[in-house]
A and B are shown apart, each in its own frame.
Chain A
């Protein structure tokens, strides 16, 4: 078994990926017929087996409830962020204070850093622009930041702390 599929191959190498793939299959077919459910679960079981070698790290979620709460906060922030950005665009472009900010990272894992960058892009007036080579700093561009340190503090406290709690508890 492990000769073909890689070192970690068990019967269910990625317990999280199987339900995700199955539900994507059901959504794609837009049906809940028993046949589709069986086919979806089968695909969700086979695809992780064959793609095991492409997954660089094993994802482990330590606190699912914290993840759910974080997702709620992010969804709310997306809506608020859109209002804020819309107001800034409709206002006077001359009065904006764009800024580049260096956010020091406490996260280590690839997935956690990627999620943080994604969330930063989706929330108020900030776009993640570059990760430093030593993975210590994330360069962030803010649309309107008269006070850069406040934005950095918000990002660290509102988004990075929950992610750290979910993926890398000490």
Chain B
């Protein structure tokens, strides 16, 4: 039973991480590319870390919860890097599929 749960978590994690990176290559402009990694990768790594937590908790050496820290850290930092990247791209006036409203009143 535990085996199946672990396999499921690991496979889901790896699949989402892969799809996130696939989005990085497949999509056509910077702003759409930004979506793949920031979302798919957080859930992918999250699943992987939960799997690790479950695995090491069942090794007979007591609970292992410190994976939660990395998950928490990633969930807090991933949006911040995405926001900063989007801001930098707007600042540099990168080519976009849809024109941004007005690039002149940036507040950096």
Contact = CB atoms under 8 A, between A and B. Distances in A.
B interface SS class: helix
A89 interface: yes
A154 to B, nearest CB: 16
Contact of A129 (B40, B90, B105): B90
B11 interface: no
Interface string A81-106: 11001100110010010111010000
B79 A118 contact: yes
Given A27-B69, A121-B78, A143 B86 contact: no
A14 interface: no
Contacts, number: 113
Interface stretch (A35-43, A51-59, A130-138): A130-138
Contact of A86 (B19, B29, B78): B19
A133 B107 CA distance: 5
Interface in A104-118: 117-118
Nearest to A92: B26
B15 to A, nearest CB: 8
Interface string B49-85: 0000000000000001110110000011011101100
Contacts of A119: 79
Interface residues of B, number: 43
Given A27-B66, A85-B35, A132-B107, 6 more contacts: A89-B19, A93-B26, A118-B80, A121-B82, A129-B100, A130-B87
Interface residues of A, number: 36
Given A86-B19, A127-B83, A128-B86, A99 B35 contact: no
Contacts of A141: 31, 34, 86
Sorted nearest first, the 3 A-B pairs with minimum C-beta distance are A121-B79, A129-B86, A89-B23
B16 A129 contact: no
Interface of A: 24, 27-30, 78-79, 81-82, 85-86, 89-90, 93, 96, 98-100, 102, 117-122, 125, 127-133, 139, 141, 143
A100 B100 contact: yes
